[in-house]
Chains A and B, each alone.
Chain A
């Protein structure tokens, strides 16, 4: 069935360093790849997304890259700040008509001041 694998499960970086989280997906027909940030005690919030016809997208300090051939996509956060500390989820939407998102397992990012 459809599956999304996310790595690493935890990531600790120094403030100012970059952080990279990687995901692979199984359904080659997937066409939409959002990233969500979940702060403590809150629901996930969309931070960036990319569609299958685009290889890279950037929004200030965050960027997402997509490699359709290899079926993987990555989140890049540059110049990390303590407020970037959160759990990050990747997701993939398949080609089915249901609108369902398949989520990765989550990455807990800790940015040390």
Chain B
């Protein structure tokens, strides 16, 4: 089944404890992206990647890191989480960034709470 998977689905952690949220897609998509969803703000892009070893900042990159060593995986890293990073996180992928091929498929989400 074609899908985007994220792990973990739920995570409660404490300020400053490094964590990684994994994202994997099995559709051979070039383009991958991380969003955070907060009430009243919709989905805001954190980082994106147009292909392997190519990553760039989205609208709210502060406090986050990503890597794209393989086409299928795009982990999100919080080196020192803070309470303002408590949010619902979504990974998404699309065939490419080009019009006509950029329907984005979303993962199921990761609900993160930073105490």
Contact = CB atoms under 8 A, between A and B. Distances in A.
Interface residues of B, number: 29
Interface of B: 4, 31, 33, 35, 40-45, 48, 50, 56, 58, 90, 92, 94, 96-99, 102-109
- Tell me the dominant secondary structure on chain B's binding face: strand
10 contacts: A41-B109, A42-B108, A46-B105, A91-B43, A98-B48, A98-B56, A98-B97, A99-B102, A100-B33, A103-B35
B93 to A, nearest CB: 11
B48 A100 contact: yes
- Name the residue in B31, B50, B102, B107 with the highest tally of chain A Cβ atoms < 10 Å from its Cβ: B102
A9 B106 contact: no
Interface residues of A, number: 27
